[in-house]
Amino acid sequence: MTVPRARRTAAAVAAALLLLPAAACGGEGVGNAAPTRTLTVLAAASLTNAFAQLEQRFEDEHAGVDVQVSTGSSATLAQQAVAGAPADVLATADARTMATADDGGALAAAPRVFATNAMVLVVPPDAARQVGGLEDLAGTDLVVCVPSAPCGALAATLLDRSGVATEPVSLEVDVRAVLTKVTLGEADAGLVYATDARAAGDAVAVVDLPGAADLPTEHVVAPLAQAAEPELARAWVDLLLSPDGQSVLTGLGFGGPR
């Protein structure tokens, strides 16, 4: 039985296409050891910039390791960890969400506090003069996180304590979504962490809140029970607590663990 020529050609093309990515990978790996192991980190949205820097450092120190950071609301990430998400480490923006993961049996070791953060008010740069604090927020479009997210729980407590009768116009799913609404100019003000405000640079003006320092949130980290790379997971936790890791975090405005 002979195979028609057209079909043979098609098979050859298909085979070539299949091999192409492999060839490309091989070429890339020359001289610069191709990543063979992957460390997957679930991180609170507020840790986006810090973990991007630490990822670089970790990959430099651990040849052949590729770090994948997945960011989102701590509450969502904790649920994912409990549901068995294929990840190695969980870092949240407060102890409450970490406790959810712990209760669900997702942690391989006790969580450690590696940084603290405080809440600030961000406003568009041109509005900085009109808004001096929470008391000036009446009648403005304020955005905060959903109460289930750490930033939302903290914002609710702050607003409650201030006694300001302002209702937010939107409850965003994570702290970066709140920041975006302010940088886009859609909201008049937002309650975010000091580090997020700093990461936004000139796009927002920061109003420090009296009383916010008394309500710090603790960033906690723990290796996950389902970790495929338990050693690397511990190494990541160690990096966060090391002087090196701490200097990166404090450089971005995080407070040290207490």
Partner 1 sequence: MARADADLGRVPPVLLLPAVLATGLLLLPLLGLLARTPWTDLPELLGTPVVAQALWLSLTTSTITAGLCVVLGTPLAWLLARVDFRGRRLLRALVTVPLVLPPVVGGVALLGAFGRTGLVGAPLDSAFGLTLPFTTPAVVLAHTFVALPFFVLAVEGALRAGGRELDAVAATLGARRWTTFRRVTVPLALPGIAAGLALAWARSLGEFGATITFAGNFPGRTQTMPLLVYTELQDDPRSAYALSLVMLAVSLAVLAMLRDRWL
Q: With binding defined as CB under 8 A, does residue 181 bind partner 1? A: yes
Nearer to partner 1, 48 or 74 (CB): 74
Q: How far is the CB of 30 from partner 1 (least distance, A)?
A: 37
Q: With binding defined as CB under 8 A, does residue 79 bind partner 1? A: yes
What distance, in Å, lies between the first and last C-alpha atoms of the chain?
78
Nearer to partner 1, 60 or 126 (CB): 126
17 to 76, contacts with partner 1 by CB under 8 A?
A: 73, 75-76
Q: How far is the CB of 127 from partner 1 (least distance, A)?
A: 12
Which residue of 171, 203, 206, 252 would you call a contact of partner 1, by CB under 8 A?
171
125 to 154, contacts with partner 1 by CB under 8 A?
A: 141, 143, 146-149
Q: With binding defined as CB under 8 A, does residue 184 bind partner 1? A: yes
For the sheet with 37-44, list strands across it.
65-72, 37-44, 89-92, 217-223, 112-117
Q: What is the DSSP letter of 4?
A: P
- 116-153 in b/e form (b: 16+ CB < 10 A) is bbbbbbbbbeebeeebeebebbeeebbbbbbebbbbbb
- 221-238 in b/e form (b: 16+ CB < 10 A) is bbbbbbbebbebbbbbbe
Nearer to partner 1, 126 or 214 (CB): 126
Which residue of 59, 66, 186, 208 would you call a contact of partner 1, by CB under 8 A?
186
Q: With binding defined as CB under 8 A, does residue 170 bind partner 1? A: yes
Ordered DSSP codes for 12-59: HHHHHHHHHHHHHHHHHHTTS----EEEEEEEEGGGHHHHHHHHHHHH
Q: Any alpha helices (H) in the chain, and if so which ranges?
A: 5-29, 48-61, 74-82, 95-103, 150-162, 175-183, 194-200, 230-241, 243-251
Q: Are strands 217-223 and 89-92 parallel, antiparallel or unpaired?
A: antiparallel
Task: Report residue 5 CA to chain centroid gap.
Answer: 54
Nearer to partner 1, 39 or 178 (CB): 178
Structure tokens at 255: 């407070």
Q: How far is the CB of 16 from partner 1 (least distance, A)?
A: 28
Q: How far is the CB of 146 from partner 1 (least distance, A)?
A: 5
How many residues sit in the footprint of partner 1 (CB under 8 A)? 21
Q: With binding defined as CB under 8 A, does residue 166 bind partner 1? A: no
Q: Segment near partner 1 (CB under 8 A), from 37-45, 180-188, 205-213, 231-239?
A: 180-188
Q: Segment near partner 1 (CB under 8 A), from 33-41, 154-162, 179-187, 238-246?
A: 179-187
Site of interaction with partner 1 (CB under 8 A):
73, 75-76, 79, 141, 143, 146-149, 168-173, 181, 184-187
